[in-house]
Amino acid sequence: METKPFAELGLSPKVLSAVEAAGYTTATPIQSQAIPVALTGKDVLGIAQTGTGKTAAFTLPMITRLETGRARARMPRSLILAPTRELAAQVAQAFEKYGTNHKLDVALLIGGVSMDDQVKKLDRGVDVLIATPGRLLDHFQRGRLMLMGVEILVIDEADRMLDMGFIPDIEKICKLLPPRRQTLFFSATMPPEITRLVQQFLKDPVRIEVAKPATTAKTITQRFCFCPASEDWTKRELLRSLIRGENIKNGIIFCNRKRDVAVLHKSLVKHGFNAGALHGDMDQKSRMDTLDKFRSGEITLLAASDVAARGLDIPEVSHVFNFDLPWHSEDYVHRIGRTGRAGREGAAFSIVTAEDLKLFKDIEKITGDTPVWVGEQPTAEDFENAGKRRRGRGGKPAGSPQGHRHASSRKPEPRNENRGKEHRNAAPRHDRPQRGTEETPTRMDAAPTPRRDDRPEQRNRPERPAHAAAEAPRREQRQKPANDRTAPPASPRPASERQQPRPAGVSPAGGFAENVPAFLRKPARPAKVGSES
C-alpha cells in the first residue's frame, strides 16, 4: 500500500520537527491515510493489525489540532481510552516524544497509581487525558472530572476492549461526551459488537483499512513445534532447547494463565536464563519496572500473559514464543505481532500438544498460512483425536499406562438390592416409641441403643391408623412414671385436693417454690398450741 513522507501529510512545523528528531521520515500506510483525514476533523474508522503505527496515526494529528486553545480545570480537551495500563502508558510516552516542542498538559488515569496525584493534575487542567475505562468512570462518579469539554475522542484497540468486557463502560462514557466532537476509532478486527458501536457513536466515518482483519505480518517467520506429551515439564524442556538453538536478542514467551507465567519464570531463572515476568497480578510499579528493563536490554526473556499481547510498542523484539496456544485464534495474531514490527524481521515459535491441535486448526484458518513444523509432525490420527483426549492424574492422557484406566475396564460395583429398604420400611418418626414410655427403659438401667440396622422388628412394622397415633400421647401420659423429670406437666388435681390447705413455704402448682431444692426451702414453723385454761 502507498506510503508518503510526513512532510506531505499536513502536519504543523513543530510536529514535523519532533518526528524528524525521533528518526522518522516516511509514514506507514495507516499513518499516510489516517493523518490527513484526522486533521480535517472528520471521524475515522481505522482497521489495521497491530504493529502498523496506529498510535502515531492519531497522536500526530491530535497534537497539531491542540496547538491552539487552552485547557480548563477538570475539563480535558481530548480523551484517549485504552484497554490496559501498559497501552495507556505507551500512548503517554508517545505524546512526550512527539509533543516535545509543545506545552501540552497530559494526564494518565490508570489503576495502581495514587488517585490524589491524578486529581491534582485534573485540577490544573489537561489538554490530553489518557485513561482506562474503569478508572475514568471512577473519577467521574466522584465529581473530579467533567467531560463536556472533550473535542477529540480516541478509542484504541476496540476489539481488545470487547474481549475484556469494557464495551458497556465505553457506551456510558460516549453518552457523557458532547455530541459535536471528533471520534477516532481503531481496531484490528470488526466483530458484530464493534460494528454496532461504530454505527451508534461515529458520524459518517472515513473507513481506512490497510490489511485484512487478523492477518499476520509477512516479515514474521512462523514455526510450530509438536510436543506429543502434555506435561508442562516436557513443554518447558522443549522451550529451553528452542531458545538455545536460536540467536535471540530478546523474546517474549506467552502463557495462557498467570500462575503458569510465575512457574515458567522460576524455571527459566533456575536454568540460567536472564528472564522476567509480566502478568496481571503484579502491582503497577513492578510491571512498569519490568517493561523498562526489557526495553533497555537488562532482561532478555519476558514470560508474560496476554496482558502484554496488545499494543506494547517494543520495536526490536526478535522472537516470540507461544508456550501455550491461545484459546482464541485472534490472540495468536496479536501475540506474534510483538515481533516483526516496522518492517523488521522476526520469528515466532509455537509449542503444540496433542490436546492443542483443534486450536491449531483454528489458527491455520484465520491466518491462511501453510504451517511449517520443526521436528516431528502430528499424524492424521493425532488430528482425528484432537479434542477427544482427557488428561488424567499427573497430566497423563486418559488411557495411557500411567494414567487412569478406561471406564470400560473398571469392574462394576455389585448392586445391593436391599439397599435403602430399611429406610423405606422404617416407621415414621412420630410413630416411634418416645422416651419415658414402657417400651423404653429408664435412664438408670438403660442399655445401649441398637443401631437402626440391628432392629429388625422395625423394618416391616405396619403403620398404625391415624386414631391410634392420636391416642398414643394420652396413653403415654397415663403410663408415665412419676419420678421421670422429662414427663409433661401433670393433669389438674381433683377439687378435693385443691381445697386442702398447703403447708407453709409451698407455692401453688407451677409456682417458683416447686422448682427450689428441698434443702433451700425454709422449714415450716410448728403451729402454736394454746395453753389449757
Give the model's confidence band at 511: pLDDT under 50 very low, under 70 low, under 90 confident, else very high.
low
- Report how many domains make up the chain: 2
pLDDT value at position 486?
Answer: 45
pLDDT at 57 over 70: yes
The answer to whether residue 165 sits within a structural domain is: yes
Q: Residue 288 sits in which domain range?
A: 220-399
Q: What is the CATH number of the domain that holds 250?
A: 3.40.50.300
- Helix and strand element counts for the chain (H, E): 18, 14
171 plus 226 within the same structural domain: no
105 plus 128 within the same structural domain: yes
Give the model's confidence band at 515: pLDDT under 50 very low, under 70 low, under 90 confident, else very high.
low
pLDDT value at position 370?
Answer: 85
- How far apart CA 296 and CA 515 sit, in angstroms, is 88
1 vs 188: which has the higher pLDDT: 188
Give the model's confidence band at 41: pLDDT under 50 very low, under 70 low, under 90 confident, else very high.
very high
pLDDT value at position 69?
Answer: 84
The answer to whether residue 442 sits within a structural domain is: no
137 plus 267 within the same structural domain: no
H helical segments located in 113-191: 115-124, 133-141, 158-163, 167-176
278 plus 303 within the same structural domain: yes
pLDDT value at position 335?
Answer: 87
- How far apart CA 230 and CA 351 sit, in angstroms, is 10
pLDDT at 460 over 60: no
Domain end point (choices 174, 209, 244): 209
Give the model's confidence band at 212: pLDDT under 50 very low, under 70 low, under 90 confident, else very high.
low
The answer to whether residue 530 sits within a structural domain is: no
What string of H, E and C letters represents the secondary structure of 499-530?
HCCCCCCCCCCCCCHHHCCHHHCCCCCCCCCC
The answer to whether residue 323 sits within a structural domain is: yes
Lowest mean pLDDT among 61-75, 322-336, 445-459: 445-459
Residue range 26-31: mean pLDDT, rounded: 92
**How many CB atoms are located within 10 Å of the residue 480 CB?**
17
Q: Is 344 exposed, middle or buried (0-12, 13-18, 19+ CB in 10 A)?
A: middle
Q: How far is CA 146 from CA 73, 75, 137, 149, in A?
A: 9, 5, 11, 7
pLDDT value at position 273?
Answer: 95
Lowest mean pLDDT among 187-191, 209-213, 300-304, 321-325: 209-213
273 plus 303 within the same structural domain: yes
254 plus 382 within the same structural domain: yes
The answer to whether residue 186 sits within a structural domain is: yes
Domain end point (choices 209, 242, 274): 209
The answer to whether residue 349 sits within a structural domain is: yes
527 vs 285: which has the higher pLDDT: 285
pLDDT at 426 over 60: no
pLDDT, mean over the chain: 78
The model's pLDDT over 289-324, given as tens digits with 9 standing for 90+, comes to: 998 899 889 999 999 988 765 656 676 899 999 999
Residue range 478-501: mean pLDDT, rounded: 49
Lowest mean pLDDT among 138-142, 223-227, 376-380, 401-405: 401-405
105 dihedral zone (left: phi>0; alpha: psi -120 to 50; beta): beta
Residue range 390-417: mean pLDDT, rounded: 41
To 10 degrees, what angle do helices 167-176 and 192-201 make? 0
pLDDT at 430 over 50: no
Lowest mean pLDDT among 50-59, 76-85, 123-132, 352-361: 50-59
134 plus 246 within the same structural domain: no
pLDDT value at position 216?
Answer: 73
201 plus 274 within the same structural domain: no
355 plus 288 within the same structural domain: yes
pLDDT value at position 516?
Answer: 60
| pLDDT above 90 as % of the chain | 42
246 plus 394 within the same structural domain: yes
The model's pLDDT over 117-145, given as tens digits with 9 standing for 90+, comes to: 899 999 999 999 999 999 999 999 999 99
Residue range 427-449: mean pLDDT, rounded: 44
196 plus 238 within the same structural domain: no
The answer to whether residue 523 sits within a structural domain is: no
pLDDT value at position 398?
Answer: 42
The answer to whether residue 460 sits within a structural domain is: no
- How far apart CA 490 and CA 464 sit, in angstroms, is 27
259 plus 318 within the same structural domain: yes
Domain end point (choices 209, 241, 272): 209
Q: What is the pTM of this model?
A: 0.58
